[in-house]
Structure 1
Amino acid sequence: MDHQALSQRLDTLIAALLEQKRRELNAGRKKVRVVVTGDNFSSLPAAMLSLAALDGAGFQLLVTFSHSACISGLKHAYADKIDSTCVGALYCDQQPTADADYSSLFLPALSTNSLSKIALGIRDNVASSWAFHALNRRIKVIATLNPECLNREATGFPLPLLSRLAEYVTTLEQYGIVIAGKKIPAASQKLLTLSDILTFSGDAGLRVARHTLITPAARDEIRRQNITIIQEP
């Protein structure tokens, strides 16, 4: 047997052993579907901490990448980290099916595009398809926000667009999607949303900075709860 043939047989044997080990490791584990979206590399470290925690807690990760994550190179960056950190993870590119088996759905650093589509009920990309597949089956959905939604002032987006994105986040929460890692609104923030009002508690009134934009839904809830707005100088 020549050297090349021997090398190929060894590669095949190693691959088979690794696959067997992966099947043994994943036997009986609850499956978490992970859908990676967007093209923002800065969110990778935080997302990997979450994935490593899930893997360490005994969950099997079924990782799917959106089109934007594939063409931007984000898929390759994630795969390198996942392969070295989450030993039981598998990559699955299929669309949702009736017999898809998973116990929860995780959307790390959900892209602005996918956030908008889920909020509007548009099911034409991988993230929105899996989100509604899970919601229709009462499977828990957890999402973290991308840097554009977490750091509103640094985006350069006009306030009306920020307001719309904030309303989309609230819509996802109304669907039953858990938004993890949301920042608590500060008195100096420039945008006040329905979600901020729903989480507000206090008898002394709500203090807001000058020129703060209050979304229409937030104003309705302020009136409903009879909350006093105190404008900071």
Structure 2
Amino acid sequence: MNTPELQRLSRLIDKSIAELLVRKRAARNAGRKTVRVVITGSDLNTLPQTLKSLRALESAGYDLRVMFSHSAGQSGLKSALLSEIQSVSGTDEFSTLTDDSLYLPALSTNSLSKIALGLRDNLATTQVFHALSLNTPVIVTLNSKLLHLSDSAFTPPLQARLNDYVDSLRQYGIAIKGLEDTACQKRLITLNDIRLHHTSGLLRIGRNTLITPAAQDEIRRQNITVIR
């Protein structure tokens, strides 16, 4: 076999290998769902929570397409996340949403408020309302301050307003994950905890969690069932 024929055979082999790899990749990804992830806020303290969420999605077999708000990019969240999770693919901020679901981990308080008020002036709000218009499932987890409002530095009126905003997201059809588990992590349930509680008449708490007398009265008044 002369040199030109060997070169031609080599090219055919390379082409066949490339085609086989493409087919193998397509077969592996067949049926896999894609999740559009929008990272919001500038609080680097949300990094562990966000990493845990993204790794759980990866382990479950989802393909992740991650977008970063302006504040997340400026704060260093973007570089920190991309350095920790190599398999996620970054996307253009203005790309069209064509994924199976939209997920916003550790949603910032600012974005929560804007979504609740129907504003569409940043990346998160634009993506959320576009997804809702297409009936694409939208899922959020809240940042630690929103998860533990009664322990935050927010004033009681602001806590109540933010809690109303969380309810507004539910009314839009947005699924909020993890909120129902926060009472289980508390050692003492107060009256304020019960007033901020919005989980379908059920309160799940730890076996050794204490409930103040005022909180017990409010539980009876609201006809809430306590499950330890």
TM-score, normalised to structure 1's length?
Answer: 0.70
Q: Unaligned stretches of 5+ in structure 1?
A: 1-16, 202-206, 215-221
User: Which residue number corresponds to residue 123 of structure 1?
Assistant: 120
Q: Is the 8 A contact 1:95 1:129 kept in 2?
A: no
Aligned length: 189
User: Which residue number corresponds to residue 102 of structure 1?
Assistant: 99
1:132 pairs with 2:134? no
Q: Is the 8 A contact 1:96 1:129 kept in 2?
A: no
Give the aligned residue type for 1:184.
Answer: A
Query: Greater Rg, structure 1 or structure 2?
Result: 2
Choose 103-112 or 171-180, whichever is displaced more: 171-180
User: Which residue number corresponds to residue 4 of structure 2?
Assistant: none
Q: Is the 8 A contact 2:114 2:125 kept in 1?
A: yes
Q: Is the 8 A contact 2:64 2:89 kept in 1?
A: yes
Q: Displaced runs of 4+ in structure 1, greater than 6 A?
A: none
**What does 1:13-32 align with in structure 2 at a 5 Å threshold?**
24=25, 27-28=29-30, 29-32=32-35
**What does 1:114-193 align with in structure 2 at a 5 Å threshold?**
114-182=111-179, 183-184=182-183, 187-191=189-193, 192-193=195-196
Q: Is the 8 A contact 2:44 2:75 kept in 1?
A: no
RMSD: 3.2
Q: Is the 8 A contact 1:167 1:194 kept in 2?
A: no
Choose 47-56 or 102-111, whichever is displaced more: 47-56
C-alpha distance in 2 between matches for 1:118 and 1:165? 12
How far apart are residue 64 of structure 1 and its match? 0.2
Give the aligned residue type for 2:110.
Answer: N
Distance change (3 Å), C-alpha of 1:189 and 1:96: farther
- The secondary structure found in structure 1 opposite 2:189 is coil
Q: Is the 8 A contact 1:95 1:130 kept in 2?
A: no
TM-score, normalised to structure 2's length?
Answer: 0.71
C-alpha distance in 2 between matches for 1:91 and 1:148? 27
How far apart are residue 169 of structure 1 and its match? 0.5
1:199 pairs with 2:198? no
C-alpha distance in 2 between matches for 1:67 and 1:147? 21
